[in-house]
Structure 1
Amino acid sequence: MKAKRIFLSLLGLLVLASCQDDFLGLSPQTDRNTLNFYKTAADFNNAVVGTYAALKLSGVYNTSLYWMGEVSTDNTDFGVTTRQAVNVDNFQFVDHTYTSLNDIIYASWRDHYIGISRANAILTRIETAGIADNLKMQYKGEAQFLRALFYFDLVRMFGDVPLVTSEITTADGANSLIRTPADAVYQLIISDLQGAEQSLPVSYGTTDAGRVPQGAAKALLGKVYLTRKEWDKAATKLKEVITSGKFQLLPKYADAFSFATPTNAEILFNVQYKSGNTGQGSGFGPVQASEGARITGGSMRYPTADMDAAYEPGDLRKSFSMKSSYIDANGQAINQRYVSKYVQFGALSGDSDIDFPVLRYADVLLMYAEALNEIGFDTEAVKSLNQVRTRAGLAATKATDQNSFRLAIEQERRVEFAFENQRWFDLVRTGRYVTVMNAKGLTVKAFNILYLIPQREISLNKNLVQNPGY
């Protein structure tokens, strides 16, 4: 059942909704949850569906990751010029002067842990569940992948974080947790992904299209190894995805984002949406470029002039990903950049079919090229990079050594994954965030390679210590 449809679930059974106010939301809140649920295959399916649905919470792909992964970089501006109390949190990503009361950062912490709590409930209970072994393996693998993804975001954004691997069943069960060293968090992430790749199916039938396949677990594990600079392990795992033959670059860049074919040979894993006034549609596109007769210029997150200039002449990705002007409701041309990658004309505002990519095959190719280059610059790395450039209508890379190839990869990732929440993570991973931002006149401090711990969490749990510099 396609994730656009599987998100239409009885999420009330999970009760861990985005309206919860703090980390205490990890604990189940009704006897119905603990006594009557998690019994049948249908129960576990609903629980897995609810864990996928956590990806769409405001603190994950719906809002926070865009601010933390894009607006905090040289890719995107806020787009609003008037500073008011209502947008003070937004401007902190422009100024890089974060406060511990920032609601966008708080939502990211909170909602990632909501996703983790849903996965933990499944993993705690599924071993003794009386359901078919094949379903048990699949649901376990899905929960492991999703828990790993949530923790991977958290550890990269915040560093040491509380490591919770089982259900919290008391109201104050989270109030004494300590921050677990990042290495230990990564070990859980790796273990979960290794388990997921053993349990997940290689592919699904039409009715289940959109659920995470084995290849996505391998690709995410490759990204984890790349982040940890375990180059050999990263290259090995990513090559498994490449040689599997299950994924490929589509002929046209735009095809990977087509709402008509949201699951395709290039997408390993998406956050999926379905329009129709059911509450499952995506509002992400209209935030980038509000729709009137066509585009009315209400965009809140503009591509920067630097992003506009980052594309090489003839790069076919640019015209799909962003526009430099729009026609307003009066038919007048307005010279203003906006993100067009997620805009679905004709859809209801805030109710689009456009999915959000988490893992694409282009990412696998570029990560593989990066890992190989760190082992030692070679022709196979160049070949992988050039596959992506060829699809974009560009000539082969001119990089001729390891250092120039590093910069070529950095550039290629920027334009290939523009507005996909990867820029901040990429620059921090390569140790280039502070250097690149400061070189472009953006004031970024060394400690900005981590975000701060929300004050609400520190107030609830005195064991939590703030990240240095904040």
Structure 2
Amino acid sequence: MKAKSLILSLFSLLILAGCQDDFLALSPETDRNTVNFYKTAADFNNAVVGTYASLKLGGTYNTSLYWMGEVSTDNANYGVTTRQAVNVDNFQFIDHSYTSLNDIIYAAWRDHYRGISRANAILSRIETAGIPDNLKAQYRGEAQFLRALLYFNLVRLYGDVPLVTTEITEADGASSLTRTPTAEVYNLIISDLQSAEQVLPITYGSTDVGRAPQGAAKALLGKVYLTRKEWDKAATKLKEVISSGRFQLLPKYADVFSFATPTNAEILFNVQYKSGNTGQGSNFGPVQASEGARITGGSMRYVTADMENAYETGDLRKAFSMKSSYLDATGQLVTQRYVSKYVQFGALAGDSDIDFPVIRYADVLLMYAEALNEVGFNPEAVTNLNLVRQRAGLAATTATTQSSFRLAIEQERRVEFAFENHRWFDLVRTGRYTTVMNGKGLTVQDFHTLYLIPQREMDLNRSLTQNPGY
């Protein structure tokens, strides 16, 4: 059995949930009383755990990011064929006909800011707290890492977003915030990660499984630089992760996602779950464990034919990541592609131990290869790409030029990180989203490289403006 102390400690968050959950959802809520909180090391530990817990909210890695990062692309589609009022928001990711009332897009905005508000509360109070210096530094680093991750998602999803770096305790404290230029948001992200990498532990003990280590901050900073096309900085930072020797590709792709070994040498950071009918399990695998894979009604994790065909012959990742058919509840064979990557047989339906990967070593290798190639096509970039391909049972890449290597990286990232919420971000980052999607008959316009600002937030805060095109 795996030790998931970070997740199990969520039971201590009843105090936290009542005192800081919604300081900033960018809409007026209610005042909270924190006078008697943030006093001891245990208080701050609970607050940090509560910030990690924000990654499990519906608007972050639990639901919204999958719709925005996968279903909006050529990788996945919606498993429901009948359009009704209850699923109009879901079909907007198929049609790319988003409206400002879309609850999935709104949840992403709301819940990312909920996590940011929790991090801000910690950072606003910890410097004057009477706790040991080593714990103060660690908790500060964790809060900065998480705030950077959440803002990194926001700025990529929405562009200019309100930048809030201090605790907001008044009900109307966020009602007049304006959108901050993207460059300034990135400045905070980079500053937070640079500070975090200086103080985060290189590794944690068994009682702190799941917390962000130094390598996660370095890797995320490398991804930020890559997104900003600062190739040299990206390559330097990602090389630090590789040279540390602390991470490696597991021999078998499937083992990376095994519920039996959720924290392993390939995982730099993931969102942790714990089954047991306690509300801490994940529902990523839309299957119920029995004598066969039985898809539950309304699955959202169906795979496109284009995604199925993207795998090369002999790619060992395909059989693990997706299936082409399943047995229904009556035992009848149904021909339908679905995601099997997060299936845990033997667990309660919708309550598994499967964690969700945010940063893993294969990502570091491929980002490093991409950064090197943008500086100039070279053998080291090829070597790193081929390490990932070799693990998948594939031959070395045939790319021999900078432009062909770009496409090779794009292809490899697609199949390596299928259904891990990378596809939309990758295509937007490389400027290829509209070209790729429209080339496959999917109607996408240039302004779809950003999502729209939720109408509820604009109604509550008249200082917010809408993204062009919507």
**Shared fold by TM > 0.5?**
yes
CA-CA distance at 1:330 after TM superposition:
2.5
Q: What does 1:384-395 align with in structure 2 at a 5 Å threshold?
A: 384-395=384-395
1:122 aligns with 2:127: no
* Residue 284 of structure 1: how far off its partner (Å): 1.4
Question: Where does residue 223 of structure 2 map in the other structure?
Answer: 223
**CA offsets 1:288-315 (integer angstroms, 9 cap, x no match):** x355653223333211000000000000
Distance 2:291 2:59 in 1: 31
Contact 1:295 1:329 in 2 (8 A): no
* 8 A contact 1:121–1:166 mirrored in 2: yes
Q: Find the aligned partners of 1:207 and 1:441 in 2 and give their Cα distance.
A: 50
**Equivalent residues of 2:285, 2:342 under 8 A apart:** yes
TM-score (norm 2): 0.97
SS of the aligned residue for 2:434 comes to helix
Report whether the alignment pairs 1:156 with 2:156: yes
1:258-269 equivalences under 5 Å are 258-269=258-269
Matched, 1:295 2:293: yes
Aligned to 2:105: 105
Kept after mapping to 1: 8 A contact 2:25/2:113: no
Runs of 4+ in 1 over 6 A off after TM superposition: 16-21
The equivalences for 1:206-217 within 5 A come to: 206-217=206-217
Matched to 2:295, the amino acid is: G
Distance 1:440 1:12 in 2: 50
Q: Alpha carbons of 1:96 and 1:291: their partners in 2 closer, same or farther (altered >3 Å)?
A: farther
Deviation digits for residues 425-459 of structure 1, max 9, x if unmatched?
00000000000000000000100000000000000
1:17 Cα deviation from its structure 2 partner: 7.6
1:79 Cα offset (Å): 1.4
Distance 1:16 1:113 in 2: 16
Task: Check if 1:245 corresponds to 2:245.
Answer: yes
With over 3 angstroms needed to count, the CA separation of the structure-2 counterparts of 1:434 and 1:281, relative to structure 1, is same
> Which secondary structure does the structure 2 equivalent of 1:225 belong to?
helix
Cα deviation for residue 30 of structure 1 reads 2.8
Indicate yes or no: 2:8 matched with 1:5.
Answer: yes
Quick one: structure 1 residues 118 and 317, their matched pair in 2 at CA, closer, same or farther if it must change by over 3 Å?
same
Task: State the match for 1:233 in structure 2.
Answer: 233
C-alpha contact 1:323 1:338 (8 A) present in aligned 2: yes
In 2, distance between residues paired with 1:280 and 1:436? 37
**Superposition TM-score, scaled by structure 1 size:** 0.97
Alignment partner of 2:32 out of 30, 34, 59: 30
Q: Which whole-Å deviations, capped at 9, do the CAs of 1:306-360 have from their partners, x for residues lacking one?
A: 0000000000000000001112222222111110000111111111000000000
Report Cα offsets for 1:74-95 as digits up to 9, x if no partner.
0001011100000000000000
CA contact (8 A) 1:292 1:329 kept: no
1:125-178 deviation line (CA, Å, top 9, x unaligned): 000000000000100000000000000000000000000000112110100000
Between the two proteins, the alignment pairs up a number of residues equal to: 465
2:247–2:361 CA contact under 8 A, matched in 1: yes
Question: Secondary structure at 2:27's aligned position in 1?
Answer: helix
Deviations 1:367-419 (A, max 9, x none): 00000000000000000000000000000000000000000000000000000
Change (3 A) 1:347 1:17: farther
C-alpha distance in structure 1 between counterparts of 2:76 and 2:64, whole Å: 14
What residue identity is the alignment partner of 2:88?
V
Q: For the residues of structure 2 that align with 1:132 and 1:363, how far apart are their CA atoms? A: 35
2:460 counterpart letter in structure 1: L
What is the rounded CA distance, in whole Å, between the counterparts of 1:13 and 1:274 in structure 2? 20
Instruction: Provide closer, same or farther for how the CA distance between residues 316 and 340 of structure 1 changes in structure 2, counting only shifts above 3 A.
Output: same
Quick check: 2:204–2:213 contact (8 Å CA) kept in 1?
A: yes
What are the Cα deviations for residues 106-135 of structure 1, in whole angstroms up to 9, with x where unaligned? 000000000000000000000000000000
Give the aligned partner of residue 322 of structure 1: 322
**What is the CA-CA distance between 1:54 and the residue it aligns to?**
0.3
1:191 is matched with 191
Q: Distance in 2 between matches of 1:23 and 1:104?
A: 16
Distance, in Å, in 2 between the alignment partners of 1:120 and 1:45 is 14
Give the aligned residue type for 1:57. L
Whether 2:203 is the aligned partner of 1:203: answer yes
The correspondence of residues 287-436 of structure 1 with structure 2, limited to 5 A, is: 289-291=287-289, 293-298=291-296, 299-436=299-436
Q: Which residue identity does 2:56 align to in structure 1?
A: K
Q: After superposition, where does 1:136-155 map in structure 2 within 5 Å?
A: 136-155=136-155
**Structure 1 unaligned runs (5+)?**
none
- The residue that corresponds to 2:83 in the other structure is 83
Q: Against the structure 1 CA distance between its residues 67 and 458, is the aligned structure 2 distance closer, same or farther, given a 3 Å change threshold?
A: same
Q: Which whole-Å CA distance do the structure 2 matches of 1:250 and 1:156 have between them?
A: 30
Q: Is the 8 A contact 2:101 2:455 kept in 1?
A: yes
TM-superposed deviation, 1:3: 2.6
How do 1:60-99 and structure 2 match up within 5 A?
60-99=60-99
Mark the runs of 5 or more structure 2 residues left unpaired by the alignment: none
Q: Percent identity?
A: 77
Alpha-carbon separation, structure 1, partners of 2:443 and 2:94: 9
